[in-house]
A = this chain, B = another copy of it.
């Protein structure tokens, strides 16, 4: 049905963009007297609506629909995943972290709003993501929604992207970072949220335990592969193509897959992970076409 990934993205992206925009409108519309919260709204909206490939929401929707669920069931969780991703970018870009001035071709949140508002906008997006799942998920048994929220918390926290970012910071500039540590960082900093999208979408669509395991393995593999390719693009592309500062990893002497195992071996590893990932989806046959195409898209992307 959607073997052509371009067609799939063209059908999904405008829906996700419109729903993200609406999620920010809702915040203001429901409590119109609170115009004092304008600045933090603006700051949250600035980063959330700054574009991006929206891979996380699209993965969430695709997983739910592969299970036979509807878009309505998964959309709040899909948007929450993008809010969380945006929060992590805002906080990671701060001067006390990666100190990045440019993100998706635009000044980073703290360059526009200041470091203080940027910290708070991230906090606002993070809390809103959980609120959004809890408040707006329709047509799903509440036990399943609670399961999704619990998994969402784990994928952000000490055993998810926060933990991954901490170990990433601690590894910076170190000469003895192993592949095992690097993999841990990527699994937590990047793959955990992607896994949440696919597994969360699957659970909302009715996945059983065995299906959850398959979805999890699929997503962890594409997540790790996604990050290996990110490492590769950082050394092979320029800033204009990436929409962010290129060559940054080399500059801070960061452990990356290309640095630890070379460019060619890194590409092979990424491709092997994608192949293993796609194996997991065989039981779904043709219904897996969108997720299969998304997996291919991740290996083929240039930014």
A96 to chain B, nearest CB (A): 4
**A135 beta carbon closer than 8 Å to chain B:** yes
Given contacts A31-B159, A36-B167, contact A153 B127 (CB under 8 A): yes
A134 contacts chain B at the CB level, 8 A cutoff:
yes
Per-residue CB proximity of A17-50 to B under 8 Å, as 1/0?
Answer: 0000000000100010010110111001000000
- Are B128's CB and A153's CB within 8 A? yes
A115 vs B166: C-alpha distance in the bound complex, in angstroms?
12
Contact A34 B163 (CB under 8 A): yes
Residue of B nearest to A43 (CB): B166
Cβ A91 vs Cβ B166 within 8 A:
no
Set of chain B residues within 8 Å of A91, measured between Cβ atoms: 119-120, 123
Contacts of A117 in B (CB 8 A): 166, 169
The contact string, 1 if C-beta is below 8 Å from chain B, for chain A 144-167, is: 011101101110111110110111
Residues of B within 8 A of A158 (CB): 27, 37, 40-41, 44, 124, 128
Beyond A41-B158, A150-B134, whether A96 also contacts B124 by CB under 8 A is no
- Measured in the bound complex, the distance between the Cα atoms of B130 and A167 in whole Å is 23
Does A170 have its Cβ within 8 Å of any Cβ on chain B? yes
**Cβ contact within 8 Å between B96 and A116:** yes
Q: Does A126 contact B (CB under 8 A)?
A: yes
The residues in A between 82 and 116 inclusive whose CB is less than 8 angstroms from any CB of B are: 87, 91, 94-97, 114-116
Complex-state Cα separation, A34 to B167, whole angstroms: 11
Does A69 touch B at the CB level, under 8 Å? no
Give this chain's copy count: 2
Whether A146 pairs with B134 at a CB distance below 8 angstroms is: yes
| A142 close to B (CB within 8 Å) | yes
A160 to B169, CA, bound (A): 31
Closest-CB distance, A284 to chain B (whole angstroms): 28
A132 at interface, CB cutoff 8 A:
yes
Residue of B nearest to A37 (CB): B163
Q: Which residues of B contact A39 (CB under 8 A)?
A: 166-167, 170
A128 touches B142 (CB 8 A): no
Known contacts A37-B163, A159-B37, A169-B116; A154 and B131 CB within 8 A of each other: yes
Most buried by B among A87, A124, A162: A162
* Contact assessment for B119 and A131 in the assembled complex, using a CB-CB cutoff below 8 Å: no
Subset of 9 A-B contacts with CB under 8 Å:
A36-B163, A37-B158, A44-B158, A91-B120, A94-B119, A123-B156, A127-B152, A131-B152, A142-B146
